Structure 1
Amino acid sequence: MKEKKKLGLVPRLIIAIILGILIGQFMPLWFSRTVVTLSGIFSTVLKFVIPLMILAYVTMGIADLTQSAGKLLLITVAMAYGSTLIAGTLSYLVSAALFPAFMSPDALSQIQATAGNSVDAYFSIKIPPLLDTISAVVLAFMLGLCLSSMRGKKEIGDTLYNGMKDFSSIIDRVLHVAIIPLLPLYICGTFVDMTVSGKTYVILGILWKVFLVVIIMHLIYLLAQFTLAGSISHQNPFQLMKNQIPGYTTAIGTQSSAATIPVNLQCAEKDGVSEQIRNFVVPLCANIHMCGSMITITACATAVCLMNNLPISLGTVVPFIMTLGVAMVASPGAPGGSIMTALPFLYLIFGKEAGDPNGPICAIMVALYLTQDSFGTACNVSGDNAIGVIVNAIYNKFLAQGGEKSAQA
């Protein structure tokens, strides 16, 4: 018997958005309040899980980063982080220049007029997080760096490392079994509230333009990355992009950088990247190179600020990008992992009140991002192979100069 194909996350989110609009438009208020109540309970659980997710994934990501890689590791990490920062900064500059034209004063005034028309939940449940997000990030870095260094020097055994690895697997199971499957309920509740309050139709008239601009930015950024990679490696950048098509389309379908690694390794082989380098760079960059996700998150944050008349500038965006570029290290391979990691840091742009992870503005941000998540992931993994081509060229240059030992240190 043929296995039934599971409905992907993006189709389920689209269905959730449509259901949310229909429920808010046609169902009685008691039904809308029920959906909003369930959505609120989920958001509370999500707020509890987020610090644990950061602790688990970032700790393991850093613990695995600095093992037996030497100079090539530093070069790869620097390029991945630099690419992520540049992508986010350019995304903001483009978004700030184009998005205001999509949002008429009339549309913005309509959104502002509906600000207080929210649907009240029947009840809420308080689940205090075990630690706040900043503490989770600091603890994750402390554990990750110490595990990596001390295990490498044989100062400690693998007990704590294996424990954190198991903890990471537990959080991964929670995300796959509970959080990600229930995201459509979260989004549905958001759109029920938005429809009842009158925001939906104004906002949806803006979102399709935002989506189109984000996809174009992804493609232009990939062209720039492969042009640079081609010039350094003396290869045709368009051939490199052609070689990447299987990895790009696989990422769109899976919405997971981790799930795309086997296909991406094949693409890297077509690019002429040596086995040693591609086996090192591709899995590493799948966890630390988030240029596509950063483009999408920054653009969505800019759009949300403009829609809600929140102040935004390069001065507030750059610290957010720099923080998120680190926090997204080893963000989950599950769909939506990047935005879930970004959620507790949105206050850096939105402010403390509007940036509440349980609030409606952050919910809109999640909805807007997740409808474009697959394309952001495809941009991430494609950029990984551009970095792989560059690292391979640097490695070959070391060899040509008799620096093989230095390159392999």
Structure 2
Amino acid sequence: MTAPASPSRAPSLVLQIFIGLLLGIALALAWPEAGKAVGLLGTVFISALKAVAPVLVLVLVAASIANHQHGQKTHLRAILMLYVVGTLVAALVGVGASFLFPSQLTLKDVAAAGGSAPSGIGEVLHTLLMQVVDNPVNALLHANYIGLLAWAVGLGLALRHASPATRGVVSDLSAAITWLVRMVIRLAPLGVFGIVASVLAESGLDALKEYIHLLCVLVGAMLFMAFVGNPLIAAVVMRRNPYPLVLRCLRESGVTAFFTRSSAANIPVNMELCRKLGLHEETYSVAIPLGATINMAGAAITISVLTLAAVHTQGIPVDLPTALLLCVIAAIGACGASGVPGGSLLLIPLACSLFNIPNDVAMQVVGVGFVVGVVQDSAETALNSSTDVVFVAAAEHARARG
């Protein structure tokens, strides 16, 4: 019996986005008027993101907390601490890179969008408190991500005591929302095409230079974290030269993750690498899947860098305490990033809300994130996935030492 022919596979999403990027540049240069006209595609894409992002934050975080598994073994505590510290340090690196090499973006109607600059950490904390106690319906209507995050955490904790059937419904709802987000992100090639064509048609090649500068800051911060930040953390824990371990993880895990662009898809690669390194199976079999969910150094860098790009574009001054608070918010947001390509980008409005940046402006920055995401998302995934093995191995070596 002849086997049925395998259906032809469509080009990957990253390739489609890259094609959309090139077509947008070509159209803007060859026919600027048409480039401005197709800007409607970018507007529709950004509007769709604005529609799904608030619901995603509310449902995804609540479901994650509600379905958290009890009874994890205590020897995972050191690994979990490394995951948290690594993500927070990555956010610090992203903030530092943004201040050393500030990025500004060409966005539509930034001046008309308004948004008052906070005078200092006191006003930021006051605004934060008021957003936390916002009505959940009002938070959804006005995209108050801080309020949505607070309600999601509260609902998640309450639902942990619900029946398994109820928690199953919440999990199914989370999966349904994630599916809708995937459908919206499938529009990214058309959205990128419209965004690039309209922006370049109106602003010329200067906007393209802005994208390249932003991408260099993002990738540079991720490289710094991979070759300096992670080795320093591992060295403190292991008390030995960490670079043989770090370089092997980057070579055997990071390279694969760069091309698959999925930490979840790279879990089998990381499990095999842990086996080769001689780590305890009962530890890495739990820690690696967990790390693919919450160990998000690359996402923390993406959120902090793009948020500060919006801040610099708005001309908002940032003091040190507010910058540190941004690091914490970026780290928390990164841990809750959706498991879909570009999921970390949807958490940018959450961080932007600290600076009273309107949702319209924040979502334009998300659109820019999809433009540079052709490279950024691959680098982010490579950093996230390789770091999982680095920290698991570092914790194992520390425990073996005594």
TM-score of Structure 1 vs Structure 2, range by shorter chain: 0.7 to 0.9
State the secondary structure of the residue aligned to 1:282. helix
CA deviation vs aligned residue, 1:243-291 (integer Å, no higher than 9, x gap): 3223212211121111111111112222332111101211111111111
The answer on 1:325 being equivalent to 2:331 is yes
Distance verdict in 2 for CA 1:113–1:266, change over 3 Å: closer
Deviation at 1:211, TM superposition (A): 2.9
User: Equivalents in 1 of 2:156, 2:245: separation in Å?
Assistant: 35
Partner of 2:245: 240
Contact 1:76 1:281 in 2 (8 A): yes
Deviation at 1:303, TM superposition (A): 4.3
Partner of 2:297: 291
User: Equivalents in 2 of 1:49, 1:115: separation in Å?
Assistant: 22
Scaled by the length of structure 1, what TM-score is found? 0.77
Task: Give the residue type in structure 2 aligned to 1:197.
Answer: E
Deviation at 1:204, TM superposition (A): 1.9
State the secondary structure of the residue aligned to 1:259. coil
Partner of 2:218: 214
Distance verdict in 2 for CA 1:49–1:73, change over 3 Å: farther
Decide which of 45, 50, 53 is 1:47's aligned counterpart: 50
Deviation at 1:305, TM superposition (A): 4.4
Task: Give the residue type in structure 2 aligned to 1:14.
Answer: F
Contact 1:301 1:365 in 2 (8 A): no
CA deviation vs aligned residue, 1:30-77 (integer Å, no higher than 9, x gap): x44653233323322222211221123222333454521254454443
User: Equivalents in 2 of 1:235, 1:269: separation in Å?
Assistant: 21
The answer on 1:22 being equivalent to 2:31 is no
Contact 2:146 2:353 in 1 (8 A): no
Contact 1:13 1:371 in 2 (8 A): no
Contact 1:84 1:291 in 2 (8 A): yes
Contact 1:54 1:327 in 2 (8 A): no
Task: Give the residue type in structure 2 aligned to 1:20.
Answer: G
Q: Which residues of 2 match residues 143-154 of structure 1 at below 5 A?
A: 143-148=155-160, 150=161
Distance verdict in 2 for CA 1:50–1:307, change over 3 Å: closer
User: Equivalents in 1 of 2:252, 2:327: separation in Å?
Assistant: 29
User: Equivalents in 2 of 1:381, 1:363: separation in Å?
Assistant: 25
Decide which of 281, 288, 295 is 1:282's aligned counterpart: 288
Deviation at 1:362, TM superposition (A): 4.4
Contact 2:215 2:376 in 1 (8 A): yes
Partner of 2:70: 67
Contact 1:243 1:270 in 2 (8 A): no
Task: Give the residue type in structure 1 aligned to 2:63.
Answer: M
The answer on 1:334 being equivalent to 2:345 is no
> Which of 272-281 and 19-28 deviates more?
19-28
The answer on 1:172 being equivalent to 2:178 is yes
The answer on 1:352 being equivalent to 2:364 is no
Decide which of 156, 161, 164 is 1:158's aligned counterpart: 164
Task: Give the residue type in structure 2 aligned to 1:346.
Answer: C
User: Equivalents in 1 of 2:101, 2:330: separation in Å?
Assistant: 23
Please, what is the CA RMSD of the aligned residues?
3.3
CA deviation vs aligned residue, 1:77-116 (integer Å, no higher than 9, x gap): 333222212111122223322347xx8xxxx9xx699978
Contact 1:39 1:186 in 2 (8 A): yes
Contact 1:114 1:197 in 2 (8 A): no
The answer on 1:91 being equivalent to 2:94 is yes
In structure 1, runs of 5+ residues without a counterpart are 118-127, 151-155, 401-409
Task: Give the residue type in structure 2 aligned to 1:214.
Answer: L
Partner of 2:202: 197
Figure out how many residues of one structure are paired with residues of the other and give that number.
Answer: 369
Partner of 2:262: 256
Partner of 1:38: 41
User: Equivalents in 2 of 1:96, 1:252: separation in Å?
Assistant: 27
User: Equivalents in 2 of 1:98, 1:43: separation in Å?
Assistant: 27
Task: Give the residue type in structure 1 aligned to 2:242.
Answer: P
> Which of 156-165 and 239-248 deviates more?
239-248
Deviation at 1:379, TM superposition (A): 0.4
The share of aligned pairs that are identical, in percent, is 24
User: Equivalents in 1 of 2:10, 2:278: separation in Å?
Assistant: 35
CA deviation vs aligned residue, 1:294-353 (integer Å, no higher than 9, x gap): 22332344445445645445444332331232233342222101111223432335x423
Partner of 1:389: 393
Contact 2:303 2:334 in 1 (8 A): no
User: Equivalents in 2 of 1:75, 1:355: separation in Å?
Assistant: 41
In structure 2, runs of 5+ residues without a counterpart are 113-138
Decide which of 375, 380, 387 is 2:384's aligned counterpart: 380
Contact 2:90 2:225 in 1 (8 A): yes
Task: Give the residue type in structure 1 aligned to 2:82.
Answer: M
User: Equivalents in 2 of 1:28, 1:367: separation in Å?
Assistant: 19
Contact 1:324 1:345 in 2 (8 A): yes
